[in-house]
Structure formats: C-alpha cells, structure tokens
C-alpha cells in the first residue's frame, strides 16, 4: 500500500469534515507523520483494534470504526437471519469519543439489518460480556482502550458466549476487512430512524439490575463484614472511569459502612486529569487514594481501570506505609481465599478448577493443588480462559471457580466471560474483611501464604519498541531467541526450552524433543536449573516485547536476589 496514495484518497474522499481535512492538510509537509498514519490499516486481531485518535487509516476515528463494524456486521450476517435478529450488544467506556464511536458502530450494524442493544452511557466491560449472554446476542462490541493513555481508544469484539473473539473469527473479520473500501463499501443509517424502527434498542438500569443481582450472588461471607463493619475502612477510586457507580454499589451491598471514594477521580473524564496513567498496575496513580486512606485510617485501597475490567489494590504494611499488591499476588490471595470460603460455605463444586495463564505465577498452581483443586494453564487473554472454562464444564471434566492473569484481571462466576473488576472488587473486599476478623491485613495474609507455600516472586519487563520499525525489532528479537537460544541465563543453565508457536519442547541436556498441549502463540519459555521460568512474548496490543520472570527462593532475600539477577539479563535484550 502506498501511504501517499492513501493520504490523497482520504483528502479527496469528499466525506471528511472541514476540520478533518484541515487536520490532514496540517501534516502535508511531514512525510514521516503521513507514513505513520497511512502505511496500512490497524491490524484486526483477537483484541480487536487499538490506536491513537487521529485522522488516518492506522488510527482510531469514525471512518475506521465504521469500516471495522461493516466487516464485523458481514460476519454476523453470514451466520443467518436468526443471528441478525439476536443481534449485537454495544458498550463504551469513559474515553474521549467513546460514545461517538459506539453510536457509529450502532448505525452501521442497524443499516446491515442487525438488531442492536446499545447501552445508554458508559458501563463496565464485564457488563457488556454479561449483556451478550443475558440477551442471547450473537455478538458484542465494546469501545474501550482499557488502561491505555488518554490519546488511545479501541474496539473490542465479542462472540455469542460473551468472550472476545477467538482467533478463527478474528481472522475471518480481518479477511473480510481486506476486501472492504473504507469509504465506498460502508452501510450506515440515521441513528434516530434506527431507534424508531426498533433496530436500535437502548439498554439502561434494567440491565444494571440484572448484572448486579449476579454480582451480589457471588458473596460467600456476609458475616465477617458485619463483624468488622464498624471499624473497617475502604478507599475506592475508579480512575475517572466506568467503576464509579457499580463498584461502590457492590461494596455497600456487601455491608461496607465506611466507603471513602476519591472524589476527584469519581469524575468521568477521558483526559484522566489527576493521573499520568489510568492504570491500577501503576502505584503512583494511587496518591490521592493514599492521602484519603491516611486521613481515615484505612488499611485497604481498591482501584479499577477506566473500563472497570482490571482491579488493583494497595495495603498498609507493618511500617504504616502503603504498598501495591501485584496482580500475581492478588490472584494468589484470591485463589486461597475463594477455596477456603467455598469450603466454609459448603459451596465447593465437584472437580473444582482454577485457570491461569502461562505467564502467571506458579504459586497459584501450588495453592490450588495443595487444596485439592486442579489448575490449568491457558494462553494470555480471557478469551482463552473462557474457551477452556466452556470446554471443561461442557464435558463434565471440571467446574471453574476462578480464572486470572497477572495483569490484574480476575474472572469469577458464570455470568461473564471476561475480566470483571466489579465482582473482583467485591470478593477482594470480602476477603479483606475475613482476614480482619482474624486480626490480619492483606499484607499479613500475603506473608503467611509465602511462609506456607513458598517464596515465589515475579517481575514483568516491558521492552518498548515504538515507531514504524518497532514491529521489525520485535520480530527480529523473537527470531534471534529462536535461532540462537541462550544455553545459560544470568549464569544459570537452561534445562528446557518450549516454543508455544509450534508446541515444541526440547530437553537441553538430552536433546529429547516432545510436544505440549498448547500451541499457536508467539511465546518462548525457558526453564532454568534453579526452578526459574522466563517467558518472552510480543504484546498483542502495544509496541513492546514482554519478558516475564517467574522465580522462587528459599526465603524472601533469595527470591528478591533472583529477581534482581534476572532483571540484569533482561536488559541485555533491549
């Protein structure tokens, strides 16, 4: 594709507004910028689309939204008339243009004869997954860029089970899009006319009530909260996003009496004015929450990302300071707690299962299996966990009680097939209350789990590779690691190499080759003689290579030394 020809095509299309034309005219003497915007379309993958909001083929704007929706609508229509009537649920987050993009997607679907259920305003991502299942929709669309910076927006697509598109359907959409002209081949219709004809139906409070009834039904233990409620202080922040309404509602339903919301961050704002990054993985974003916690003497802080599918927590340590609890650590706490709570409540199913991703701490497996619960690995992404959950439960092989990944995503219950920060915030708070009845904070609880199950430690490194040559650099690094794999890492022997692309396994000592169950993902795994596991994979949504260090020590000091040692090796990759 000639980026200059595509640039000229947009300028001469006759459909852009005067402001949009002016935006493109302003870069006419900047070939590098033109190339970055027009060298090719945004790649449609299993995570949908994600990019910065600008005019251009490789950006997020109304034309790209319409184009993507036309392709998706044709895939839905190909399933037949019943699929068109079952239709699509459409949701949006708090980001700039999210409501505009959602309405544009609704207009295109309606023009293609597909019934649309459009949320009246922003809602948590898990509620979109819920709506697809609850209303028996054929598909779902969510306009969100999750926890990315304010310049970004995105477009996630879901299938009938409420999970994001599996690879085969994503490939089918991508194939269809390659044949659709971004201007000439798009069907659209007037929004109000589509509503009047019943093609677009607006979802509101009734869907919230149905969703929240399922969330509240997940409560295991009201008694512990009742026991400590007079003294139990909770601080919550939605980071200007979709958790602002339903998370506080869930916590109050649990019985939290003293809930302190960070007022500055309860304001819906796609510019995220109070934080550099609206990501609960970044502890610096919690500074207002920490101030509020210190004011009220709280030991526990909960924060959800802008689309309320990820949740991060901070807890007070022994020295009185607040420390972040990583996604791995929160997941381990939850696995241990949920197993115990279900056993105490007598609700543990037969053949209970926990799901985690291949890059998530092995401590989760140790906790699960030590308590008689099976643990399975999946590829990164809740679509794969949903697929595994569906397969296990449909075959009768197991009942999934919890799924999680290290990047602060947790899925509990049967009513969603995606990360769910509303339910997770509820159960994490219930867990904190239960530990409070034991005279323990979550910091104390985590230390006790390390003493019981072993001193596991994890660190994720992001090797950022931006720009047009970023993809080439990422591909070159993965190619080098495949063709010239390290025999040692930080002076420690590599004993097993696994390549999830083809499912191959190599024993480095004997040269014996075998295969594993999982294959089809661009991930390399190096297992070392000291028990450490290092995984390397390109991010599916951002221009970076992610390197995961999963290690263990005889005690906290040895664990931390291992993390530091392997961090030095990771630096040699960039």
Cβ atoms of 137 and 88 closer than 8 Å: yes
DSSP-derived secondary structure letter, 516: -
Residue 24's beta-bridge partner residues? none
> Whole-angstrom Cα distance, residue 209 to residue 404?
25
- Cβ-based neighbour number of residue 467 at 10 Å: 11
Residue 143 contacts residue 153 (beta carbons within 8 Å): yes
Structure tokens that stand for 540 in this block:
């599916």
Greatest distance between any 2 Cα atoms in the chain? 70
* Residues 407, 331 contacting (CB under 8 angstroms): no
Q: Give the phi and the psi of residue 458 in degrees, each rounded to 5.
A: -140, 150
Contact 132, 139 (CB under 8 A): yes
Q: Which of 36, 98, 129, 146 is catalytic?
A: 146
Q: What is the CA radius of gyration of the chain?
A: 24
- Rounded distance, CA 119 to CA 142, Å? 10
With vertex at residue 531, the alpha carbon angle to CA 571 and CA 404, rounded to the nearest 5 degrees, is: 80
Q: Is 320 left (phi over 0), alpha (psi -120 to 50) or beta?
A: left
The Cβ of residue 508 has, within 10 Å, a number of other Cβ atoms equal to: 16
Whole-angstrom CA distances from 116 to 75, 81, 107, 201, 206 are 15, 14, 9, 6, 16
Q: Among 551, 414, 542, 366, which residue's Cα sits nearest to residue 471?
A: 542
Helices 363-370 and 442-453 pack at an angle, to 10 degrees, of 80
**Is 146 marked active-site?**
yes
**Residues in the chain, overall count:** 574
The Cβ of residue 80 has, within 10 Å, a number of other Cβ atoms equal to: 11
Neighbours of 421 (CB within 10 A): 31
- Report how far apart, in Å, the C-alpha atoms of 366 and of each of 51, 62, 357, 375, 382 are: 38, 48, 14, 9, 21
Structure tokens at 165: 């598109």
- Alpha helices by DSSP H, 534-574: 556-571
* Spatial distance between the Cα atoms of 105 and 428, rounded to a whole number of angstroms: 35
Q: Identify the sign of the CA torsion 533, 539, 542, 543.
A: positive
Q: How far apart are CA 570 and CA 120, in angstroms?
A: 46
Token pair recorded at residue 12: 């001469």
Q: Is the dihedral of CA 79, 81, 82, 84 positive or negative?
A: positive
Q: How far is CA 147 from CA 50, 241, 458, in A?
A: 11, 10, 21
Residues marked as catalytic:
146
């Amino acid at each position: 594709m000639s980026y200059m020809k595509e640039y000229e095509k947009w300028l001469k299309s006759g459909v852009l507004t005067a402001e949009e034309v002016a935006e493109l005219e302003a870069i006419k003497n900047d070939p590098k910028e033109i190339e970055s915007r027009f060298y090719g379309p945004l790649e449609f993958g299993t995570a949908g689309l994600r990019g910065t909001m600008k005019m251009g083929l490789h950006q997020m704007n109304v034309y790209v939204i319409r184009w993507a929706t036309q392709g998706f609508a044709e895939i839905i229509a190909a399933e037949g008339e019943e699929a068109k009537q079952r239709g699509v649920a459409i949701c949006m987050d708090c980001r700039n243009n999210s409501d505009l993009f959602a309405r544009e997607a609704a207009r295109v679907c309606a023009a293609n004869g597909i019934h649309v259920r459009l949320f009246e305003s922003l809602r948590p991502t898990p509620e979109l997954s819920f709506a697809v299942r609850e209303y028996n929709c054929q598909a779902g669309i969510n306009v969100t860029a999750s926890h990315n910076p304010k310049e970004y927006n995105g477009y996630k697509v879901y299938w009938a089970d409420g999970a994001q598109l599996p690879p085969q359907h994503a490939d089918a959409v991508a194939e269809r899009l390659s044949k659709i002209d971004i201007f000439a081949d798009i069907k659209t219709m007037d929004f109000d006319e589509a509503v009047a004809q019943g093609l677009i139906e607006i979802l509101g409070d009734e869907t919230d009530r149905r969703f929240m009834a399922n969330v509240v039904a997940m409560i295991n233990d009201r008694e512990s909260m009742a026991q400590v409620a007079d003294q139990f202080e909770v601080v919550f922040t939605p980071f200007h996003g979709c958790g602002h309404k339903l998370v506080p509602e869930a916590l109050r339903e649990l019985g939290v009496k003293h809930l302190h919301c960070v007022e500055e961050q309860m304001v819906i704002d796609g510019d995220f004015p109070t934080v550099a990054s609206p990501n609960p993985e970044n502890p610096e974003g919690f500074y207002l929450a920490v101030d509020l916690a210190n004011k009220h003497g709280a030991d526990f802080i909960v924060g959800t990302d802008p689309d309320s599918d990820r949740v991060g927590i901070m807890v007070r340590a022994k020295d009185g300071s607040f420390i972040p609890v990583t996604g791995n650590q929160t997941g381990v706490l939850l696995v241990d707690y949920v197993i115990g709570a279900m056993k105490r409540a007598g609700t543990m199913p037969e053949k209970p299962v926990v799901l985690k991703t291949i890059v998530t701490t092995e401590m989760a497996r140790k906790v699960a299996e030590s308590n008689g619960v099976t643990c399975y690995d999946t590829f990164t992404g809740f679509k794969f966990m949903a697929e595994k959950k569906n397969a296990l439960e449909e075959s009768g092989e197991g009942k999934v009680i919890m799924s999680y990944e290290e990047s602060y995503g947790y899925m509990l219950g049967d009513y969603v097939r995606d990360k769910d920060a509303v339910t997770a915030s509820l159960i994490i708070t219930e867990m904190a209350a239960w530990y409070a009845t034991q005279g323990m904070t979550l910091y104390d609880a985590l230390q006790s789990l390390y003493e019981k199950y072993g001193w596991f430690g994890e660190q994720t490194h992001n090797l950022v590779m931006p720009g047009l040559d970023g993809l080439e650099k990422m591909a070159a690094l993965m190619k080098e690691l495949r063709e010239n794999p390290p025999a040692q890492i930080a002076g420690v022997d590599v004993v097993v190499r696994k390549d999830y692309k083809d499912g191959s396994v190599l024993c480095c000592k004997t040269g014996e080759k075998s295969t594993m169950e999982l294959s089809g993902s661009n991930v390399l795994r190096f297992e070392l003689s000291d028990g450490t596991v290092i995984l390397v994979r390109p991010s599916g949504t951002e221009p970076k290579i992610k390197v995961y260090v999963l290690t263990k020590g005889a005690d906290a000091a040895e664990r931390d030394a291992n993390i530091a040692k392997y961090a030095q090796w990771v630096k040699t990759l960039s």
